[in-house]
Amino acid sequence: MARKIIKSKYFVEEDFVEVLAEVPAGGSSPLPTNQEMKVIGRPVTRLDGYDKVSGTARYTFDINLPHLAHARTLRSPYAHARITAIDAREAAKMPGVLGIIHYQNVDQIPWYGSSFLFDPHLRYVGDEVACVAAETEAAASAALKRIKVEYEELPFVVDAAAAMKQNAPAIHEGGNIQGGKPAVYARGDFDAGLAEADVVVEETFTTQVEVHNPTEVHCSVVNWEGDRLTVWDSTQAIFSVRDTVAQSLGLPASQVRVIKRYMGGGFGSKLTTGKYTVMAALLAQRIGRPVRITLDREEMNLAVGNRPDSVQKLTVAAKKDGTLSAMSHWSYGAVGAYPSGAACSWPLRTIYQCPNVKTEEYSVFINAGPGRPFRAPGHVQGTFALESILDDVAEKLAMDPLEFRRKNHATIDQVMNLPYTSKKLLEAYDAGAKAIGWDRRRKVPGADKGRYQRGLGFASQIWWGAGTPPAGCILKLNRDGSVRLIAGTQDIGTGTYTVMAQVAAEILEIPIERIQVNLGDTAVGPYCPLSGGSLTTPSVTPAVADAALQMKEKLLSAAAAILEVPQGELVYQRGEVRHTGDTSKKKTIVEILREMREQTLLTYGARNANPEGYAINSFGAQFAEVEVDTLTGHVKVIKVVAAHDIGRAVNRLTLENQFHGGILQGIGFALMEERVIDPQTGKVLTVNLHDYKMPTIMDMPEIEVIIVSEADTKISNVGAKGVGEPAMIPTPGAIANAIYNAIGVRLHSLPMTPDKILMALAQKG
């Protein structure tokens, strides 16, 4: 099959990325619609379901090797300090201790740009001080307490507003504003737009720091064989872990192999290579034994990422007829002690039609754990603020909120000035409004009189999730006629094993049980993108389709040789090649393979390039119904309807998992989750799953998921857009608007906890 190398651009998490990729030269032809499919689009149960319910599934956390040593990390007890002396001699003599590393006995390995793996300048409670390997975890933990460290405490700041002030303690040279200046964007003439408006609303919103807290903690197991290193890691990005580990240790990347089989969630926190992985590799090298390193739940809440908080000042101006004439967004957020991103204005810039827009955003260093991408970075907090203020503008215009959004529907991407490959947001409005019963919405907010007051609200969503090349997939036919599918992507729990197998099963017309999928191994699979940014399904499934279509061709060619007939007279159907005229002439896959050598039929499929001249985005609208207990301030989410345009739905069951989970995380962000830091000491107060409030089964509302889209044939043969992040983006905004509709008073601060609800009700009088 003809190929070419191209430059391709895609958006992942917070930035545009340009990559070179080999892609099919002829582009891609769309597969048939889901109605014509037997496996794609069907609610196929997970291939790994029984592995998981039976406890057979082995996660990185479960990897065990002979002679395995266990590592634990000593972390800074201070928000800001400098190590003046460190003495590990006594700790080293403790029973079972095998090795200790810290800044004095390890080369300076660059980390976070301007810092190091072990940096004597400590910038948050939880920053790495030393790492101990021992016979057991308990022995390693005991040794940590005997490492004598002298700290010089430094002034600290744990609040972004304070950190931006002139005389604030400097966390890095060059000040506390990341990059030294804000990120700005402008189009049109904001002031002119403001001047022609009939209604102008200005409001400030705040959102909290949210912590990922996946169920499986971050962990690695490392093993040296000579100068080659194998790393089992709980990661969303095997290739970037390989590259970072190799670079940190001064090894060629080919000498590092990263493996990830099953993983207990990531949500963005496992996109970044952990210091712990490199520390384990260094210890393993020194002690000559494999090392397992795990974080405990407290470390999970300190050191492996979070969603930065935000203070967002929005101005929205509209004309009497409901058209938006100007919008501005000014915001800052705390990225923690090391570089990350707190920007959150993307939704405001793109989702609604508005000619005059300006944004200015500051990412601010504070003495706290660094941020990392968290399920739709920026978009969740940005959408909450935007959709809240838009409801307030609609009320001033005496317009229905949904009508107001319809009026300002954007048909092109206004930042890049490009048409969308597809945009079915209006269809999502219609389907969602019907399902929730939008006409039941109280016309007057806070109309209910009793203790329990109900309301309806909604919010829209935009996200990237187009997928990207390079993404490769190898198919091999086994002698028994089964298929082995190999790719360098990773299933982070979402169902990638299953959706990839579905595509191969559909095209080769064989039962899905006969497809074995091997993912998550840098030594084996062709490169695929990291699993974040809702990239995975749209990137990797087209490569599977490409490989499977080529395999069909090879089977036809093989059968022609065996049957001694021209290939043109043969057709492929249900795992069998048949002659169109002579029905006695046929060969099944198994028969063809029996006459050929083992695994000689092999194809490589590649993801096509994204189309030139288009923006590719997913869209959706979520509608929430809530009930507010005005006596206790408790908010109960009754129902959420999620109506989305995500291109082709490949598997209804795994898709619903993503929506249910995303909406629940949205509920957590809207109503309860919050990392709390004591401003007096700089210590995080919410370091366990009791104090850090995550939604439980008691909080789950009724959910209805409606997919309004078919395959987006402009993107790829499969035509899927990602769903992981879209599922969460609009939920907090929809809940906030529903709460306003219920009680008639606007909350500007997440999470909308009972105390804030009661305070708001009291102010309303």
Partner 1 sequence: MEGTFRINGRHELLEFSERATLLQVLRDNGHQEVKEGCAEGQCGSCLVLLDGRLVNSCQVFAAAAVNREITTVQGLGTIHAPHAIQEALVEVGAVQCGFCTPGMVMAAYYLLRHHPDPSEKEIRRALDGNLCRCTGYTKIIEGIRLAARRMRQA
Which residues form the catalytic set?
A: 725
Q: Which is nearer to partner 1, 443 or 690 (CB)?
A: 690
Interaction between residue 67 and partner 1 (CB under 8 A): no
Candidate residues 108, 254, 580, 688; the one interacting with partner 1 per rule CB under 8 A:
688
For partner 1, the binding residues in 492-551 under the rule CB under 8 A are 492-495
Which member of 64, 166, 167, 680 binds partner 1 (CB under 8 A)?
A: 64
Query: By C-beta, is 56 or 580 nearer to partner 1?
Result: 56
Nearer to partner 1 (CB atom), residue 259 or residue 549: 259
CA dist 502 and 25 (Å) reads: 25
567 binds partner 1 (CB under 8 A): no
E-strand ranges in 434-562 read 452-463, 472-477, 483-486, 515-518
- Does position 5 bind partner 1 by CB under 8 A? no
Q: Which of 17, 138, 571, 762 binds partner 1 (CB under 8 A)?
A: 138
| The only residue of 214, 457, 538, 719 in contact with partner 1, by rule CB under 8 A | 214
Q: CB of 493: closest distance to partner 1 in angstroms?
A: 3
Q: Could you say whether residue 700 binds partner 1 (CB under 8 A)?
A: yes
Other C-beta atoms lying within 10 Å of the C-beta of residue 212: 22
- Residue 354 CB coordination number (10 Å): 23
CA angle 676, 659, 241 (to 5 degrees): 65
Sequence-distant (6+) residues with CB within 8 A of 555 are 477, 572, 577, 589, 592, 601
CB of 465 to partner 1, least distance (A): 18
Q: How far is the CB of 302 from partner 1 (least distance, A)?
A: 14
Residues in the chain: 765
Structure tokens belonging to residue 530: 């990291």
- Binding span for partner 1 by CB under 8 A among 171-179, 262-270, 402-410, 471-479: 262-270
How many angstroms separate the CA atoms of 433 and 533, rounded?
A: 28
Q: Does 435 bind partner 1 (CB under 8 A)?
A: no
Nearer to partner 1, 602 or 653 (CB): 653
| For partner 1, the closer CB: 519 or 601 | 519
Q: Does 697 bind partner 1 (CB under 8 A)?
A: yes
What amino acid occupies position 64? N
Q: Is residue 364 at the binding interface for partner 1, with CB under 8 A as the rule?
A: no
User: What's the min distance (Å) between Cβ of 380 and partner 1?
Assistant: 16
Q: Which of 119, 216, 391, 725 binds partner 1 (CB under 8 A)?
A: 216
Residue from 530, 675, 662 nearest 158 by CA:
675
Is residue 638 a contact point for partner 1 (CB under 8 A)?
A: no
Residue 262 interacts with partner 1 (CB under 8 A): yes or no:
yes
Please choose, from the candidates 197, 184, 183, 182, the residue with its C-alpha nearest in 3D space to the C-alpha of residue 355.
197
- Asked whether position 170 contacts partner 1 by CB under 8 A, the answer is no
Nearest approach, Cβ of 56 to partner 1 (angstroms)? 5
State which residue, 134 or 761, has the beta carbon closest to partner 1.
134
Whole-angstrom distance, CA of residue 631 vs CA of residue 633: 6
Q: Which is nearer to partner 1, 597 or 690 (CB)?
A: 690
**What is the number of alpha carbons within 13 Å of residue 80 lying toward its C-beta?**
20
Instruction: Give the position of tokens 């006594």.
Output: 90
Residues 291-350 that bind partner 1 (CB under 8 A): 296-297
Candidate segments 116-124, 208-216, 335-343, 438-446, binder of partner 1 by CB under 8 A: 208-216
Binding mask 282-301 for partner 1 (x = CB under 8 A): --------------xx----
Q: Considering only residues 79 through 118, tell me which ones interact with partner 1, judged by CB under 8 A.
A: none
Q: CB nearer to partner 1: give 556 or 723.
A: 723
How do strand 357-365 and strand 324-336 relate by DSSP bridges?
Answer: parallel
The residue type found at 225 is E
112-121: b or e for each residue (b if 16 or more CB lie within 10 Å)?
Answer: beebbbbbbb
Task: Select from 253, 258, 299 the least CA-distant residue to 137.
Answer: 299
Using the contact rule CB under 8 A, the part of the chain among 199-207, 499-507, 519-527, 654-662 near partner 1 is 654-662
How far apart are CB 631 and partner 1 at their closest, in Å? 21
- Three-class DSSP category at 79: coil
Which C-beta is closer to partner 1: that of 160 or that of 649? 649
Among 370, 661, 682, 726, binds partner 1 (CB under 8 A): 661
The tokens for 395 are: 């009320």
Distance of closest approach, residue 156 Cβ to partner 1, in angstroms: 27
In what order do the strands lie in the sheet containing 291-294? 97-102, 128-134, 69-75, 291-294, 219-225, 228-233, 256-259
685 touches partner 1 (CB under 8 A):
no
Q: How far is CA 718 from CA 139, 161, 349, 543, in A?
A: 52, 47, 29, 9
Residue with tokens 């001047």: 195
Query: With the CA atoms of 416, 421, 426 and 431 taken in that order, what torsion angle do they form, in degrees rounded to the nearest 10?
Result: -140
The residue among 348 and 664 lying less far from partner 1, judged by its C-beta, is 664
The burial of 288, by beta-carbon neighbours within 10 Å (0-12 exposed, 13-18 middle, 19 or more buried), is given as exposed
Is residue 145 a contact point for partner 1 (CB under 8 A)? Answer: no
Do the beta carbons of residue 402 and residue 458 sit within 8 Å? yes
Whole-number minimum distance, CB 43 to partner 1, in Å?
A: 7
User: Interface residues for partner 1 in 471-500 (CB under 8 A)?
Assistant: 492-495
CB-nearer residue toward partner 1: 324 or 670: 670
Please, which residue, 121 or 297, has the CB nearer to partner 1? 297
Q: Which stretch binds partner 1 (CB under 8 A): 53-61, 284-292, 461-469, 515-523?
A: 53-61
Is 710 a binding residue for partner 1 by CB under 8 A? The answer is: no
Stretch that binds partner 1, among 50-58, 126-134, 521-529, 603-611 (CB under 8 A): 50-58
What are phi and psi for residue 567, nearest 5 degrees? -60, -30
Identify which of 727, 720, 669, 659 has the alpha carbon closest to the alpha carbon of residue 694. Answer: 669
Distance (Å, whole) CA 29 – CA 545: 10
Instruction: Count Cβ atoms within 10 A of the Cβ of residue 55 and give its class: 0-12 exposed, 13-18 middle, 19 or more buried.
Output: exposed
Count of residues near partner 1 by CB under 8 A:
56
Considering the rule CB under 8 A, would residue 631 count as an interface residue with partner 1?
no
> In sequence order, what are the beta bridge partners of 637?
626
Extract the tokens encoding 639.
């129902």
Q: What residues pair up with 636 in beta bridges, in sequence order?
A: 627
Contacts of 105 (CB under 8 A, 6+ apart): none
For residues 375 and 748, which CB has a smaller minimum distance to partner 1 in the complex? 375
What torsion do the CA atoms of 470, 240, 664, 16 make, to the nearest 10 degrees? -60
Q: Does 42 help bind partner 1 (rule: CB under 8 A)?
A: no
Reduced to 3 states (helix: H, G, I; strand: E, B; else coil), residue 758 is helix
CB of 59 to partner 1, least distance (A): 6
* 659 contacts partner 1 (rule: CB under 8 A): yes
- Residue choice 265, 339, 481, 611 for contact with partner 1 (CB under 8 A): 265
Assess 669 for contact with partner 1 (CB under 8 A). no
Task: Find where tokens 């957590």 sit.
Answer: 668
Contact 728, 380 (CB under 8 A): yes
At closest approach, how far in Å is the CB of 645 from partner 1? 21
Residues 6+ apart with CB under 8 A from 753: 633, 671, 672, 674
* By the rule CB under 8 A, 43 interacts with partner 1: yes
Instruction: Say if residue 756 is exposed, middle or buried (CB neighbours under 10 Å; 0-12, 13-18, 19+).
Output: middle
Does 562 participate in binding partner 1 (rule CB under 8 A)?
Answer: no
**In this chain, which of 33, 45, 482, 567 binds partner 1, going by CB under 8 A?**
45
**Residue 535, SS3 per DSSP:** coil
Residues that bind partner 1 (CB under 8 A): 43, 45-46, 48-59, 61-62, 64, 138, 213-217, 262-265, 267, 296-297, 492-495, 653-654, 656-657, 659-665, 688-690, 694, 696-698, 700, 702-703
